[in-house]
């Protein structure tokens, strides 16, 4: 079997595993959300000021909530498989339309945060390992501990107070300047300006995590035989670090990045709520309190798909960086 055929076979197997994983997540989400008290009918009846049993029963029948749970589950599976995610009573439009409208904002935030956390975290960990047992390493580790321990919402609020309200460097919230109607490059710059604080806030925890992981990986690789052999051949220290040690040391970081995609998606709920970033996280927060279960289930479904795709991409990147990894 050629390497190309082996890679395609690996992709097919991982796609099947991803489909099974998404199915299990969708099933768990459905039953967990239906275990929670309250439903859209009671919320709507309360807002309408008509909480009599007849009106609530009418609303439950309208939303199909009067049917047995297993019937609702089977209908939900079929609708999910056909990407018919239902209708949002809160927003008055298709859930798929709502999610598709908010998905680009979340993807932009997550991709920015992932790139920022991997690049900055890896660089910080690499520098800490190179300057082992110096004040540089101590400073990086201290900063990593602080970033690792601080809650996301607190960091976001402090960033708003310092950089938005006090220094007026960046906007406090939103994705673009309201009423500016920028187009082209000016619009891209405006969005990037609004993206700075949310992306940095979401990535700080992972920067700290990857910095510590990268430092440990580099120090471990520096003690291996291949580094000793390279030194005995007279290779410059910089060449050994950049061409040999760095390439092997970054593999655990990539693996952890794939695992942490789901956690970053969960963290985006907090970050988007703090900064008013119009993505899936803020939409999930709003739908949860409105008991808009169909919309929330649709968001979780798309979140599961994103995590499965990200894990597949990381596995492929891992095999490209390290050809010794077998695609089986």
Domain boundary residue, one of 63, 94, 125: 94
Please indicate whether residue 67 or residue 221 has the higher confidence score (pLDDT): 221
Domain boundary among 94, 126, 155: 94
CATH code, domain carrying 187: 1.10.3720.10
pLDDT of residue 158: 93
**Separation between Cα atoms, residue 104 and residue 168, nearest integer Å:** 27
Q: Angle 280-289/95-130 helices, nearest 10 degrees? A: 120
Residues 59 and 132 in one domain: no
| Shared-domain flag, residues 294 and 313 | yes
Residues 207, 139 share a domain: yes
Dump pLDDT digits (tens) for 75-105: 888 888 888 888 887 787 888 889 999 989 9
Q: Give Rg (Cα) of the chain.
A: 24
Highest mean pLDDT among 15-19, 228-232, 272-276, 313-317: 272-276
pLDDT digits (tens, 9 = 90+) for 134-167: 999 999 999 999 988 888 889 999 999 999 999 9
Domain identity same for 15 and 135: no
* Neighbouring-strand partners of residue 88: 93
> Which domain, by its residues, includes 19?
3-94
When divided into structural domains, the chain yields a total of 2
Let me know if residue 146 belongs to a domain.
yes
88 DSSP 8-state letter: E
Could you tell me which of 267, 229, 245, 254 has the C-alpha nearest to residue 312? 254
Q: What is the DSSP letter of 278?
A: -
Say yes or no to pLDDT of 315 above 80: no
Claim to verify: residue 155 and residue 229 sit in the same structural domain: yes
Q: Give 266-272 contacts, CB < 8 A, sequence gap 24+.
A: 267/152, 267/202, 267/205, 268/106, 268/109, 268/110, 268/113, 268/202, 270/152, 270/153, 270/156, 271/109, 271/152, 271/156, 271/198, 271/201, 271/202, 272/106, 272/109, 272/198
Work out the mean pLDDT of the chain and round it to a whole number.
83
pTM: 0.81
Q: Of 70, 94, 118, at which residue does a domain stop?
A: 94
- Answer whether residue 218 shows pLDDT above 80: yes
**pLDDT above 80: residue 31:** yes
227 token code pair: 């580094």
Can you tell me the mean pLDDT for 52-56?
67
Residues 76 and 173 in one domain: no
Q: Are residues 174 and 44 part of one domain?
A: no
Q: Is residue 266 part of a domain?
A: yes
Burial class (CB in 10 A: 0-12, 13-18, 19+), 81: exposed
């Amino acid at each position: 079997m050629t390497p190309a055929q082996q890679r395609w076979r690996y992709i097919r197997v991982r796609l099947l595993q991803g489909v099974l994983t998404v199915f299990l997540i969708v099933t768990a989400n459905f039953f967990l959300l239906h275990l929670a008290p309250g439903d859209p009918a009671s919320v709507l009846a309360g807002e309408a000021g008509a909480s009599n049993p007849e009106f609530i029963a009418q609303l439950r029948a309208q939303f199909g909530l009067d049917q047995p749970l297993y019937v609702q589950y089977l209908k939900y599976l079929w609708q999910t498989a056909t990407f018919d995610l239902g209708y949002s009573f809160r927003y008055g439009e298709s859930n798929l339309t709502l999610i598709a409208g908010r998905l680009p904002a979340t993807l932009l935030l997550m991709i920015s945060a992932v790139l920022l956390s991997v690049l900055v975290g890896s660089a910080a960990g690499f520098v800490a390992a190179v300057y082992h047992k110096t004040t540089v390493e101590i400073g990086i580790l201290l900063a990593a501990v602080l970033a690792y321990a601080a809650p996301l919402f607190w960091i976001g609020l402090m960033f708003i107070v310092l950089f938005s309200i006090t220094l007026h460097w960046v906007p406090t919230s939103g994705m673009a300047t309201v009423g500016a109607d920028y187009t082209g490059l000016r619009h891209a710059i405006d969005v990037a300006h609004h993206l700075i604080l949310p992306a940095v806030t979401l990535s700080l925890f992972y920067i700290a995590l990857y910095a510590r992981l990268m430092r440990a990986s580099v120090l471990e690789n520096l003690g291996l035989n291949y580094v000793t052999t390279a030194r005995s051949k007279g290779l410059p220290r910089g060449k050994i670090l950049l061409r040999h040690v760095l390439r092997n040391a970054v593999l655990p970081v990539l693996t952890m990045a794939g695992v942490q995609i789901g956690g970053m998606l969960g963290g985006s709920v907090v970050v988007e709520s703090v900064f008013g970033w119009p993505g899936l996280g803020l939409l999930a927060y709003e739908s949860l309190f409105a008991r808009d279960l169909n919309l929330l289930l649709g968001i979780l479904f798309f979140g599961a798909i994103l995590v499965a795709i990200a894990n597949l991409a990381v596995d492929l990147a891992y095999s490209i960086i390290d050809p010794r990894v077998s695609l089986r």
